[in-house]
């Protein structure tokens, strides 16, 4: 079938996208590659469609389906969506993605290349033509431009042929395979889709479960996205799969999505409301009691469905402060020991089975953890990790929040800063990075967990790059006990850079001791209820890093980029390693590209130390170790393309 006819069928409602399909995920390089192949008449593959009755079809978008039989795209969505956007100048009704991916594609008559519009390069240049204009208006205007340009006259016939070749892309035939038959249920068709799409991203059981729900409740996906947006605005990023698992646990006490096959629309609606309420309850509880008030320190996310089921069974009211703290004790331990780092479904199923009977559920959950771990006590070596991706980073943040740690500049207890009160907290290197690099310590040593603490911005600005043996005595003189409240060794010989390894070893012992003492209070429930928790969902304040010379440079770089009409980068971006357990910290990064979702991820690492550039490059980032080189790239390759 010709491409132009396929696009007409989409307009007529004879071809659509099934509800279970994911949204549009291509980038600009893929769009360019598709047009390049079609222009040069290279094969681009066929389409696979599912022929089904219109009245039984569950399609994405709000457009009406044509009566009779409708073709639902199983394979070829990305190609057809790209072509529709380029040819029609707008996305199709079923579109869910970034339309800028295919907007503004231009063709160069001379070298026959496709690029996206760059004003400095293309404005008033007669060689560049809008592909969408050629598709929508035909080549007549383009031919007039060629004939009117003296520079193009020597190759006028060749150039006109090239313009015609662009428009004739609509006449290219794409082979269409059809899936038909009464036996082709959604389950069967999803299986076919996954086999055909083996090289791409397969549909999960969660996608299939959601597809069935959306078949009866078309707005279910948007309702769920609304909840996810609310939590994202408060600093917690979850996904549809995670929210579905919460609903499934609440409704069926199950981890496997096939348990939802008989869930009615009414049940799912109620389950979604319950999942929202339990999640709100848990986020507020974890923020107020543990101080974990933003997504960077909220680990063990798949413990939430188990806790949601427990809170739901308790009718949204935990019995007393002892049960509250015992539940939080279990949560923290799942975070510390990576309870859900492996097989989520099987682990969650084991934990859900412990919730009956309810009165002994928490003891059984903790006992099961002990059987798995053997020992839940913390040891100094547990704080041996480095970077903010290490598992014990959230524990250090939590201890700072709940153990009456005091700010080094003001002397105020940092628990006063919970839930966004007063000033934000910032990560602080006890031994500043600049000092340690000067003494030839490597990146893992510099960013060791035991070298981190949390202070107010004013304290960070007051300390700057001063060495501990310089500023520690002043802190102790002004606010006695403030250093010890952060588990700082008081042996002054350990405050010298040359004794930094011994400082880390001693502080690890102090942190392990403090962690065990706090966890013991949770397990025993020895701290009664305090003031009612404020809602973290009303205001969340992220932790930001200390303001050092290097970071000031990156902040200025972001300001420069914004002035160029480009997005600011993410400072101290956490890039997970291949295991997903530890993180490399990239000084500033654009994980979605400088042109969001349209170009390669980029990172700027001014210090370029200890393998970070190589790790980022392996993860697909274009890496710059010089701000000046990065600015040159932006000026000459991004802005002047």
pLDDT at residue 111, rounded to an integer:
92
Q: What is the mean pLDDT of the chain?
A: 84
pLDDT at residue 547, rounded to an integer:
39
User: For residues 585 and 609, what is the distance between their CA atoms, to the nearest angstrom?
Assistant: 11
Give the model confidence (pLDDT) of 521-554 as tens digits: 999 987 765 554 456 665 444 444 443 456 667 7
pLDDT at residue 611, rounded to an integer:
57
User: For residues 336 and 549, what is the distance between their CA atoms, to the nearest angstrom?
Assistant: 33
- Cα dihedral: 196, 198, 201, 206 (round 10): 80
pLDDT at residue 580, rounded to an integer:
44
Check pLDDT > 80 for residue 345: yes
Give the model confidence (pLDDT) of 416-449 as tens digits: 544 433 346 788 899 998 899 999 998 888 888 9
Q: Where are the domains of the chain?
A: 3-176, 204-373, 383-524, 548-638
Check pLDDT > 70 for residue 199: no
| Contact by Cβ (8 Å): 382, 332 | no
Give the model confidence (pLDDT) of 464-508 as tens digits: 889 999 999 999 999 999 999 999 999 999 999 999 999 999 999
User: How many C-beta neighbours within 10 Å does residue 76 have?
Assistant: 20
Q: Is 358 helix (H, G, I), strand (E, B) or coil?
A: helix
Check pLDDT > 90 for residue 133: yes
CA atoms lying within 13 Å on the CB side of residue 450: 24
Report for 219-228, 270-279, 380-389: range of highest mean pLDDT: 270-279
Which comes out higher in pLDDT, residue 208 or 566?
566
Q: Could you tell me the CA-to-CA distances from 313 to 227, 316, 517, 532 in Å, in that order?
A: 21, 7, 30, 22
Question: Which residue is listed with tokens 């150039």?
Answer: 159
The phi and psi torsions of 345 (rounded to 5 degrees) equal: -60, -50
The three-state (H, E, C) secondary structure of 372-388, written as one string: HHCCCCCCHHHHCCECC
Which comes out higher in pLDDT, residue 305 or 372?
305
Which comes out higher in pLDDT, residue 288 or 309?
309
Which comes out higher in pLDDT, residue 608 or 620?
620
pLDDT at residue 468, rounded to an integer:
96
Report for 128-142, 148-162, 168-182: range of highest mean pLDDT: 128-142
pLDDT at residue 540, rounded to an integer:
44
pLDDT at residue 18, rounded to an integer:
82
Encoded tokens for 421? 């009160």
Check pLDDT > 70 for residue 226: yes
């Amino acid at each position: 079938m010709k491409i132009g006819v396929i696009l007409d069928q989409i307009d007529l409602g004879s071809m659509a996208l099934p509800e279970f399909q994911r949204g549009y995920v291509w980038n600009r390089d893929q769009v360019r590659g598709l047009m390049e192949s079609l222009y040069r008449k290279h094969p681009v593959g066929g389409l696979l469609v599912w022929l089904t009755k219109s009245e039984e079809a569950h399609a994405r978008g709000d457009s009406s389906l044509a009566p009779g039989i409708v073709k639902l795209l199983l394979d070829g969505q990305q190609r057809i969506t790209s072509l529709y956007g380029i040819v029609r100048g707008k996305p199709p009704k079923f579109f869910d993605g970034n339309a800028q991916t295919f907007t503004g594609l231009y063709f160069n008559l001379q070298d026959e290349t496709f690029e996206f519009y760059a004003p400095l390069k293309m404005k008033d240049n007669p060689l560049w033509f809008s592909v969408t204009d050629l598709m929508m208006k035909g080549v007549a205007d383009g031919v007039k431009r060629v004939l009117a340009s003296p520079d193009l006259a020597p190759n006028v016939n060749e150039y006109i042929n090239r313009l015609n070749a662009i428009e004739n892309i609509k006449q290219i035939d794409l082979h269409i395979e059809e899936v038909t038959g009464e036996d082709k249920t959604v389950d069967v068709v999803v299986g076919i889709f996954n086999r055909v799409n083996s090289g791409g991203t397969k549909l999960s059981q969660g996608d299939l479960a959601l597809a069935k729900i959306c078949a009866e409740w078309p707005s279910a996906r948007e309702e769920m996205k609304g909840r996810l947006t609310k939590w994202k605005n408060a600093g917690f990023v979850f996904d549809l799969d995670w929210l579905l698992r919460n609903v499934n646990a609440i409704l069926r006490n199950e981890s496997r999505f096939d348990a939802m096959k008989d869930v009615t629309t009414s049940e799912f609606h109620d389950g979604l409301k319950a999942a929202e309420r339990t999640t709100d309850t848990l986020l507020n509880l974890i923020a107020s009691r543990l101080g974990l008030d933003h997504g960077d320190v909220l680990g063990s996310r798949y413990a939430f469905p188990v806790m949601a089921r427990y809170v739901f069974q308790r009718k949204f009211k935990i019995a007393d402060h002892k049960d509250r703290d015992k539940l939080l004790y279990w949560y923290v331990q799942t975070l510390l020991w990576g309870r859900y780092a492996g097989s989520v479904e099987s682990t969650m199923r084991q934990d859900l089975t412990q919730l009956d009977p309810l009165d002994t559920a928490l003891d059984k959950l903790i006992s099961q953890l002990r059987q798995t771990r053997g020992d839940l006590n913390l040891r100094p070596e547990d704080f041996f990790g480095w970077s903010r991706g290490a598992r014990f980073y959230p524990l250090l943040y939590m201890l700072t929040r709940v153990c009456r740690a005091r700010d080094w500049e003001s002397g105020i207890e940092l628990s006063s800063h919970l839930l966004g009160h007063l000033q934000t907290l910032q990560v602080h290197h006890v031994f500043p990075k600049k000092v340690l690099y000067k003494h030839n310590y490597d990146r893992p040593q510099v960013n060791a967990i035991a070298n981190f603490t949390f202070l107010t911005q004013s304290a960070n600005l007051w300390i700057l790059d001063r060495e501990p043996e310089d500023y520690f005595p002043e802190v102790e003189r002004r606010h006695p006990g403030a250093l010890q409240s952060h588990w700082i060794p008081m042996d002054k010989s350990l405050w010298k850079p040359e004794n930094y390894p011994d400082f880390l070893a001693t502080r690890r012992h102090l942190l392990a001791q403090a962690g065990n003492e706090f966890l013991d209070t949770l397990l025993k429930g020895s701290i009664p209820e305090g003031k009612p928790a404020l809602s973290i969902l009303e205001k969340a304040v992220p932790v930001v890093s200390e303001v050092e010379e290097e970071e000031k440079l990156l902040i200025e770089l972001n300001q420069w980029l914004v002035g160029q009409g480009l997005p600011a980068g993410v400072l101290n971006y956490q890039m997970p390693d291949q295991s997903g357990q530890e993180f490399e910290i990239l000084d500033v990064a654009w994980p979605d590209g400088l042109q969001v979702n349209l170009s390669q991820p980029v990172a700027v690492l001014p210090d370029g130390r200890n393998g970070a550039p190589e790790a980022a490059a392996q993860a697909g980032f274009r890496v710059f170790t010089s701000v000046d080189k990065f600015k040159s790239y932006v000026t000459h390759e991004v802005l002047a393309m």
